[in-house]
């Protein structure tokens, strides 16, 4: 038998190594799953992790997509991770993302068909405000009434989806759309289109914002007193209270940051890759970002790498659907497995495996 | 709008049917939480149960086997959670979320070939003359066996937790794992068994959606029922009887909003379809404002016996 023995302090080596081990284990287990589905496991893993970047016939399309997909994931995950490290569980980023997209698009469409680029920053702010406002609901309820923020933020995802369905065939419906549900196409309207900053790279404004968020979050969490207070309340809530950090303020701060970032991500998506508000705008990014946050060790730089890796599984997954006929759900399960293996191997950070000694009689 | 189309007897009867999945899942989760474990993977286990139950029922032609398969699948998925949280000491919240995400993916994958099929459904239990009683017969005595089984389970869980030694041990583990350990009880074993029980019940609840309530398989069909079940446990202050009240209350809201939609009420459809979630939030606020009572003291804390 093997027993766990607590390490005197967490292992730095394993902290960095467990994500890699988890990825390797996921490839093994995922390969077994692909084999069970009748695909060649080695080919499937190669199509998912290698071909999007290096296969000449796909790379031209797939490489820019890497940033397009990673942008929103990183932007949302950076915000969520700040909360997770502070013991604040915002699970409803998907809802904040949807509300951000709706508010940003609504603010922009109020000026239609103006042609000034000044609308774009305004709409980005409106998107951030929309996500922030939606995130304030669970935060304020928690602070005022002690309501569980996990359940409330999650319930609000379903409410946001109802709102999305309503506005895409109501308030925001394209008046020239011949009755089809869905808003005007924002990506084709020069004033608010979220264009590529560098042509052909997939690097749009949202990806830029994600990079800025990574740097800002790093400075906040490692170099700023507020970041220290947040981490303190996550690691030792009682000690934090004695040090004068109020739990309510921590919850509000974390929800404000993560909500605003998720909302912003929503607007960048609707003004760019998605193009319009429609019933199927919700993309599960808000949930996948939770995996990204943990895979990145709740650290901004880790999240940057994890976001790129997760984006790769999205693109590789699409490619595997096309070339190998693997179902889309297999990729979703693959991503879920990754989080599982990561949590399973995490034990090595704080504990050491020892063969169990025979108990003295 | 024509409110006359809404008949109270049918409304209450369909309330019981639509509440049963949440009732089963919430009851299981209540037992898990009483053992000090917070499993946020209810949604994932429910949807896995829904798809497994549906697939087994179609392939075997027997809804009873379907329910058994669903319970087994829910328990199997919860075993992953048990291994991670009890042996590898992972964070309960994160692991529960992982379970939900993986369950959603797994169910979509398994369920693809079954979309659009029709499963054999549970027959109504023939209770003879009882079903002929006006009003009461329609409300109480015209259901399938799972509705009665879920009610019996509520009574059984209540009795076991309150009157038996096993229930006492389970509660001790949930209130103070250290104390239970010091008394010589195997904390990890008790918790693993509780988690498996919760998984099996969540699986049954999911199968009730896909085999009786809808009855069909569509991707993501549990639509947050697992999360509502978690909220109901909080609402119920971790007591079996109140889980029943909570589940029927939420079932009632769901049925009523569907009926209002059908009757063409002058309320926006978006507001009606969001109603169950909004009511959940509202109830959570009211319950929390009063101060949380009855939460197991060791809820969500990992236990590792050192030395």
Residues of A in contact with B291 (CB under 8 A): 146
B118 phi/psi in degrees, rounded to 5: -120, 125
Q: Cα–Cα distance between A212 and A219 in angstroms, integer? A: 11
Q: What is the pLDDT of residues B14-44, one digit of tens each?
A: 888 889 999 999 999 999 999 988 898 999 9
Q: Cα–Cα distance between B148 and B127 in angstroms, integer? A: 12
More confident residue, A129 or B283: A129
Q: ipTM score here? A: 0.84
Within 8 A by CB and 6+ apart from B193, the residues are none
pLDDT at A343 over 90: no
Residue A185 C-beta-side C-alpha neighbours within 13 Å: 8
Q: What is the pLDDT of residues A47-93, one digit of tens each?
A: 888 888 887 877 778 788 888 899 999 999 999 999 999 989 998 99
pLDDT band at B307 (very low <50, low <70, confident <90, very high): very low
Q: What is the pLDDT of residues A195-222, one digit of tens each?
A: 777 777 778 888 889 999 999 999 998 8
Check CB contact of A38 with chain B, cutoff 8 Å: no
Helices (H), chain A: 12-36, 41-49, 51-54, 56-85, 93-109, 119-145, 149-168, 205-223, 225-235, 237-242, 247-271, 285-295, 300-324, 328-345, 347-350
Q: What is the pLDDT of residues B118-138, one digit of tens each?
A: 877 777 766 667 777 777 777
Q: What is the pLDDT of residues B60-100, one digit of tens each?
A: 888 889 899 999 999 999 999 999 888 888 888 888 888 98
Q: Tell me if A128 sits within 8 A of A264, measured CB to CB.
A: yes
To the nearest whole Å, the CA of B153 is away from the closest chain A CA by 25
**A352 three-state secondary structure:** strand
Q: What mean pLDDT is predicted for residues B145-160?
A: 90
Q: Tell me if B194 sits within 8 A of B36, measured CB to CB.
A: no
Residue A93 is predicted with a pLDDT of 93
Region class of B296: left (phi > 0), else alpha (psi between -120 and 50), else beta: beta
Within 8 A by CB and 6+ apart from B244, the residues are B23, B151, B154
Dihedral sign (CA B76, B81, B85, B90): positive
Cis peptide leading into residue A113 (ω within 30°): yes
Q: What is the pTM of this model?
A: 0.87
- CATH class (in words) of the domain with range B3-289: mainly alpha
Residues of B in contact with A148 (CB under 8 A): 231, 234, 284, 288
Q: Tell me if A274 sits within 8 A of A226, measured CB to CB.
A: no
Residue B18 is predicted with a pLDDT of 86
Residues of B in contact with A294 (CB under 8 A): 94
**B161 three-state secondary structure:** helix
From A145, A337, A343, residue closest to B84, measured CB to CB = A343
- Decide if B84 and A344 are in contact by the 8 Å CB cutoff: yes
Nearest to B188 by CA among B84, B100, B97, B94: B84
Question: What is the maximum alpha-carbon separation in chain A?
Answer: 85
Per-domain residue ranges of chain B: 3-289
Check CB contact of A165 with chain B, cutoff 8 Å: yes
- Decide if A145 and B105 are in contact by the 8 Å CB cutoff: no
Q: Around Cβ B234, how many Cβ atoms within 10 Å? A: 23
**A196 three-state secondary structure:** strand
Dihedral sign (CA A26, A28, A32, A35): positive
Q: Tell me if A263 sits within 8 A of A169, measured CB to CB.
A: no
């Amino acid at each position: 038998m093997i027993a766990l023995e607590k390490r005197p302090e967490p292992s730095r080596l394993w902290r960095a190594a467990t994500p890699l081990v988890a990825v390797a284990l996921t490839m093994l287990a995922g390969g077994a799953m692909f084999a069970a589905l009748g695909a060649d496991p080695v080919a499937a893993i190669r199509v998912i992790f290698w071909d999007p970047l290096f296969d000449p016939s796909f790379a031209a399309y797939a490489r820019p997509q890497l940033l397009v997909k990673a942008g929103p994931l990183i932007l949302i995950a950076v915000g969520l991770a700040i909360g997770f490290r502070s013991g604040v569980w915002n699970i409803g980023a998907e809802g904040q993302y949807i509300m951000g997209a709706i508010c940003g698009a609504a603010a922009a469409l109020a000026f239609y068909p103006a042609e000034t680029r000044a609308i774009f920053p305004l709409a980005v702010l409106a998107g951030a405000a929309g996500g922030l406002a939606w995130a304030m609901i669970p935060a304020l309820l928690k602070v005022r009434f002690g309501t569980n923020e996990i359940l409330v933020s999650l319930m609000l995802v379903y409410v946001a989806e109802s709102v999305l369905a309503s506005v895409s065939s109501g308030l925001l419906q394209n008046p020239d759309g011949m009755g089809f549900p869905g808003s005007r196409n924002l990506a084709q309207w020069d004033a608010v289109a979220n264009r590529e900053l560098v042509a052909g790279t997939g690097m749009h404004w949202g990806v830029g914002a994600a990079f800025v968020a990574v740097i800002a979050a790093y400075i906040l969490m490692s170099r700023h007193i507020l970041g220290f207070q947040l981490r303190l309340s996550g690691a030792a809530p009682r000690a934090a209270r004695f040090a004068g950090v109020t739990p309510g303020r921590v919850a509000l701060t974390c929800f404000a940051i993560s909500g605003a970032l998720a909302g912003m991500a929503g607007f960048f998506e609707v003004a760019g890759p998605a193009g319009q508000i429609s019933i199927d705008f919700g993309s599960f990014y808000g949930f996948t970002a939770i995996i990204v946050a943990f895979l990145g060790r709740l650290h901004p730089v880790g999240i940057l790498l994890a976001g790129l890796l997760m984006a790769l599984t999205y693109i590789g997954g699409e490619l595997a659907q096309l070339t190998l006929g693997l179902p889309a759900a297999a990729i979703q399960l693959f991503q879920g497995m990754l989080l599982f293996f990561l949590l399973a191997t995490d034990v090595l950070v704080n504990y050491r495996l020892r063969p169990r000694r025979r108990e003295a009689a | 709008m024509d409110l006359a189309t809404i008949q109270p007897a049918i409304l209450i009867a369909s309330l019981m049917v639509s509440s049963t999945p949440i009732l089963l899942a919430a009851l299981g989760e209540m037992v898990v939480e009483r053992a000090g474990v917070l499993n946020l993977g209810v949604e994932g286990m429910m949807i896995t149960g829904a798809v497994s139950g549906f697939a087994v029922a179609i392939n075997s032609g027997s809804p009873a086997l379907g329910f058994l398969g669903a319970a087994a699948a829910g328990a199997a998925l919860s075993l992953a959670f048990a291994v991670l949280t009890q042996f590898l000491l992972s964070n309960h919240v994160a692991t529960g979320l992982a379970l939900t995400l993986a369950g959603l993916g797994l169910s979509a994958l398994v369920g693809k070939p079954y979309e659009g099929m029709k499963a054999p459904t549970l027959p109504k239990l023939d209770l003879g003359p009882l079903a002929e009683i006006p009003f009461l017969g329609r409300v109480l005595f015209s259901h399938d066996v799972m509705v009665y089984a879920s009610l019996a389970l509520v009574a059984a869980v209540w009795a076991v937790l309150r009157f038996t030694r096993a229930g006492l041990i389970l509660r001790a583990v949930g209130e103070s794992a250290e104390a239970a350990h010091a008394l010589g009880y195997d904390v990890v074993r008790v918790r693993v068994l509780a988690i498996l029980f919760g998984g099996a019940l969540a699986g049954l609840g999911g199968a009730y959606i896909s085999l009786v309530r809808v009855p069909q398989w569509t991707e993501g069909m549990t639509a947050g029922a697992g999360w509502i079940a978690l909220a109901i446990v909080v609402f119920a202050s971790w007591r079996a009887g109140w889980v029943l009240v909570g589940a029927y209350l939420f079932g009632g809201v769901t049925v009523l909003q569907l009926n209002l939609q059908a009757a063409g009420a002058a309320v926006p459809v978006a507001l009606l379809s969001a109603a169950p979630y909004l009511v959940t939030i509202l109830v959570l606020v009211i319950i929390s404002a009063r101060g949380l009572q009855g939460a197991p003291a060791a809820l969500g804390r990992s236990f590792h016996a050192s030395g």
